[in-house]
A and B are shown apart, each in its own frame.
Chain A
């Protein structure tokens, strides 16, 4: 499969877990995973793929989806797998559901930045490039998100 094939195999897991942390919905994350790589190929071809560009495209795909679907029901963040039949799709780990639920209650921008940081592979500088924020802003917001998450998980 060449460079892009290796890139796809190496990073689809990180991207899928970023999307799962952002949406809490495995079926939607799978659709967005496919959409992200497809958009990448359509717009940039297979030469020299980069992780920040992939995440930029994935975030745009996710925000496009949300713009069409807004408003999200506030209590819909169960961390359950998507689809009618969980046996047919990706199963969200039982122990991860509390974390996903807590992430789902964070403000969207903080959930986004923290998910980008913990999903792996992106430095603060790259997250700044992906999000359009300054590195200084990234540091503050990521730490604020971690502290909020700790408080939320304590309440579980």
Chain B
């Protein structure tokens, strides 16, 4: 009897003939059966997700370039630009911070069990929308600064879609589309 059959059984890697031999051995061999049960119980612990949350980092397909790879001339240019920026920053007074305004996001998804929104204003973390009764609409009101926002909806944790009510769109890094709301919201 091959001991590895226990792991192959757990991982669903046995052929049909091996399954027949495996089940026969489980019936006939007590210690083998106990080992199977031990490892199956262990597998339940092992396959439990180690964390409840899973981060959703923002991704960029653009090649990143290390500053360490810059040549001396490029470093000089970087320092020059930084110096000019510093002078300008000192001479300019900081812009007055504008107050947040409420943005209402509504989407029609009657067949969904869960609808979320992810955008620049959530750091691309997903935030759940609330179902609006039995209407099939989902909605959320967020208090956001009156600047340009980019976002998309996530349906049942798997499928993403842009906001069909917003004309502004852009291709995202994954071949899909994000919606764009201009500063101050939609007219």
Contacts and interface: CB of A to CB of B under 8 A. Distances in A.
Nearest to A47: B175
A5 B61 CA distance: 12
A91 B62 CA distance: 30
A5 to B, nearest CB: 4
Given A37-B59, A90-B55, A6 B160 contact: yes
Interface string A13-38: 10011001100001000100110011
Contacts of A134: none
A114 B175 CA distance: 33
A47 B47 CA distance: 30
Main secondary structure of the interface of B (DSSP, over half): loop
Q: Which of B51, B157, B177 has the most CB of A within 10 A?
A: B51
Given A139-B4, A139-B7, A93 B55 contact: no
A99 B7 contact: no
Contacts of A42: 61-63
Determine the interface band of chain B, counting residues with CB < 8 A from chain A: 35 or more
Given A3-B175, A33-B55, A124-B11, A93 B48 contact: yes
Interface in A51-77: none
Given A10-B158, A93-B52, A118-B43, 14 more contacts: A1-B176, A2-B175, A3-B174, A4-B174, A5-B174, A8-B174, A16-B55, A96-B51, A99-B48, A99-B50, A114-B46, A117-B7, A117-B11, A143-B6
Interface of B: 3-4, 6-8, 10-11, 13, 38-39, 42-43, 45-64, 152, 154, 157-160, 172-177
